[in-house]
Amino acid sequence: MLVIHRLIRQQGCTAMLMLALLAAPSSAADKIEWRADYDSARKEAAEKNRPLFLDFGTEDCVHCRRMHQTTFRDPAVMKLLNERFIPLKIDANREPRLAQTLRIQAYPTMILAGQDGKILAWIEGFLETSRMVDQLQRGSSVQTPDWMARDFQEAAKSIASGDQARAVALLKNIIEDGKDRPVQAKARESLQEIEQQATARLARAKDLESKGQTLEAIDVLTELLKKYSGTLAAGDGAKLLTVLADSPDARSRQRLQRAKDMLALAREDFKAERYLSCLDVCEILHAAYRDLPEGREGTQLAAEIKADPERMARVCDAMNDRLAQMYFALADSWMKKGDKEQAQACLEKVMKINPTGTFAVNAQARLTQFNSKTPTMSTGLQKP
């Protein structure tokens, strides 16, 4: 330092400037300090209380390379990213799950997010230096509510799993206040994509209906209402379904399908030796569908059970167990109303109806508790 000061005095102002430049440490804006690991970057953002800047790109993305050759080499951009953000560069081909979760569809895509994960800004495509500087400067002031960011991520997961109906509800909630946050713009895009998918299915149903394929059209509309509930197309589809479902062919088919479903349930119960449940279903089949083959088979199945003493014994045991369950529930109802005597009477009936059943064991425990004269005492201690 002594030599430097002497040179400054000898050479004057020009020397002072040159030496100052040579002696100055490298600026933080010389290059962007890109992080490569998402979890580590999140942790660092939390420690330094800075937002994240996520740059999603691919090796073969022309505009990504252009961004890194121009915009990201600008001193103002580098300074902002290094001093105010935790910059994270992500190759979408190497981190496909992260890109899919955030529904990245174009490259480059840049996301400004708080250290808690909430999205502050969403930028797609090439951005010139001036616009990038503006985005970075405004990024910290553009706040996305925690619930909004969380709902958008949940909507993205729902779309990926095929649950568009839930996604629609979440996305509509995000855009409800009519503001223009980046995440809301993204939510509108996602909602529009779902609406387009629903509209295509509605068009398919109308085409089938115009060709006289009413039953096939009903199937498509039923799927539309189930999978795309909440969309405009689903609303129109519900009106069309009401009209088509009122046709004789549709009513006949629905009735036949219900009979088939119930017979399948009765067969399953019979195979599993749940004879009481099987009889319950068979009675409905006999009463409502006796004109169909399914109704007649249900009647035969019930007769087969009733003709076998061992099976009927199982039925009676199951009925006793069911009755004991009902009385046990009734005892709880009386206890909630403070009528201990009525509750005790119900528990005693449980013991008589099915003395060896599970509910009898529980009833006995309750009765013992009622008759106990030893007061309980709270210790204030809790098990770990």
- CATH code, domain carrying 343: 1.20.58
33 within domain boundaries? no
| 382 compared with 64, residue with greater pLDDT | 64
* One domain for residues 78 and 8: no
Indicate the number of domains in the chain. 5
* One domain for residues 241 and 259: no
* In the block, residue with structure tokens 């006999």: 286
Give the domain range for residue 69. Answer: 38-143
Evaluate if pTM is beyond 0.85: no
Name the phi and psi angles at 140, rounded to 5.
Answer: -70, -20
* One domain for residues 270 and 327: no
384 within domain boundaries? no
pLDDT tens per residue across span 290-347: 899 999 999 999 999 999 999 999 999 888 888 888 998 999 899 888 898 899 999 9
Which residues, listed in sequence order, are joined to residue 270 by a DSSP beta bridge? none
Chain centroid to Cα 203, Å, comes to 28
* One domain for residues 136 and 163: no
* One domain for residues 164 and 221: yes
For range 98-114, the mean pLDDT? 87
| 353 compared with 376, residue with greater pLDDT | 353
What tokens does 113 get? 């997010």
* One domain for residues 189 and 272: no
380 within domain boundaries? no
For range 72-88, the mean pLDDT? 91
Among candidate residues 276, 299, 304, the one with its CA nearest the CA of residue 287: 299
333 within domain boundaries? yes
The whole-angstrom separation of Cα 293 and Cα 285 is 10
**CATH number for the domain harbouring residue 179:** 1.25.40
Share of the chain above pLDDT 90, in %: 39
- Confidence band of 73 (pLDDT split at 50, 70, 90): very high
| 264 compared with 368, residue with greater pLDDT | 264
* One domain for residues 212 and 275: no
375 within domain boundaries? no
> Domain ends where: 246, 261, 295?
246
